[in-house]
A and B are shown apart, each in its own frame.
Chain A
Amino acid sequence: MLVTGVARQLGGRFVRRIQRDPQVDRVVAVDAVPPEHHLGGADFIQADIRQPTIARVLAETGADTVVHMDVTGTALGSGSRTTVKETNVIGTMQLLGACQKSPTVKRLVVKSSTNVYGSAPRDPAVFTETTPPKSLPSGGFAKDTVEVEGYVRGFARRRPDVAVCVLRFANILGPTADTPLASYFSLPVLPTVLGYDPRLQFVHEDDVIEVLRIASHEPARGTLNSGTFNIAGDGVLLLSQCARRLGRPTVPLLLPAVTWAGSLVRTLGMTDFSPEQIRLLTHGRVVATDQMRETLGFRPKYTTAETFEDFSRSRGPGLLPPEALAGAVDRVAELALPGSGHLPTQSAN
């Protein structure tokens, strides 16, 4: 098995996990930079997937399963947006070219994102795998994923003998996730777009590892693991709900102001507050996961709300911890209703 993009936390975790599976003899981990974390017993090969060397790596290792995780929104360490785009698009093209020439490859798993649907007010509320986006993403990571998926579809046509699985992940969160959304939620005060309360969906990093495992093995009986699948936790959280559960105050700004502030922050290099990120935080995005349940046979362990809870636990309290607010309301209840002690409905906190 060959895994790309292992220098990232998620790739590293997947490599460590997959080696414990009995079906896996050998894991070859590939990335352009050596990872900071250990990879268990996997063989690390430093190779840039944008270069044709990847074909040699694939030929020499004779891998039968390729897990392509090097499709990401942010640069690792210090890298410009151009490098990220090149790794995403050119890297995928090179890797697919290598796979096409390799007689041993039987299975290809690609980590994509629900970004391919974009976010627009004219889209249906819930996207299924077949929903065409009303407005194609105009740039950034979203456009990369659209192009990557296009190349993957082309590959699947040319090599019908290879099982191709494209996993469109919703926003990945978790204690160690280093996604743009995670860094957004780590801001002390959350800037939001005035007059919009987007619906968000999260998927826990543990579930990401698990579904990648399912996709990279032979399918279990009664399931099919080739095709395109949306992967997201159950349920939906509104941004305002997220902010309250995190205990971080929000600052509603006008949409032009947010766009301007986003580009300012980006220029300063503080956080990746890209235009598509702003679109997500304006209009939100929800995907249907029926295919994931019924065809892929995967049930996420964490719902959207549980994922967010796990994430917020790992981030520490914000400026307005929900417990403190709840306590304040309880104290008022004591004042207003002496003797009645606790409120009839206790919240889950």
Chain B
Amino acid sequence: MTHDQPAQPALRVQGIQKSFQDLQVLRGVDLDVEAGSIVALLGSNGAGKTTLVRILSTLLKADAGTATVHGHDVAARPGAVRESISLTGQFAAVDEILTGRENLVLVARLRHLKDPGAVADELLARFSLTEAGGRRAATYSGGMRRRLDIAMSLVGDPPIVFLDEPTNGLDPQARIDVWKGVKKLAESGTTVLLTTQYLDEAEQLADRIAILHEGTIIQDGTLAELEALLPPAQVEYVEKQPTLEDVFLSLVGTSARKES
């Protein structure tokens, strides 16, 4: 393994192209992700977000272009890339027959950590799964399963984490829990690349937002930069209506609110 190269961005994607048969999914993607930032890859269904993530996590080979992850070329040094990343795919990748704790211990053993049990217990606590840790993952709710899934990705503190649609199919409360987890992650210096089709999710979480459309990144910037692309908003006075989400969350009596 080579040492960290802080001068380089955590991810550098240059001219990545990928086709499936006749369908050209990525037509030359360029993207830099600074170490320690959260970048949201925003795009509609089928925009190629997952394809890009799969290329960056060595699951798929690009047809053209280069990508370096943590200073390692994904095509030339996939082993070194795998040492530096973790992937949370679109569908929770947990072993349903094992308990939550056993899932974490398994990943810790596969990452060759010293004390897999302690690592598992620490992550269970961090994701509020300590009580459920002894139950089989098959008995978990969607939100718990997703939390376990993300916890499994954090075993061994990989410097770069890919989250592919981390809140897809979750209820609002579970979504907020996941968001909190992602924010905490970035606070500890982890680089996060997440894909989403929810605009509010990108707005909530990301330092920078890259919009993937028809196979290329058409815009890449901070939220303020993206907003500045449109003419300044006209000031209008309207009654502030609570959103359905506000209503739902107050009815189910949660204290966890969207931080505005």
Q: Is chain B a partner of chain A in the same complex?
A: no
Question: Interface residues, chain B, CB within 8 Å of chain A?
Answer: none
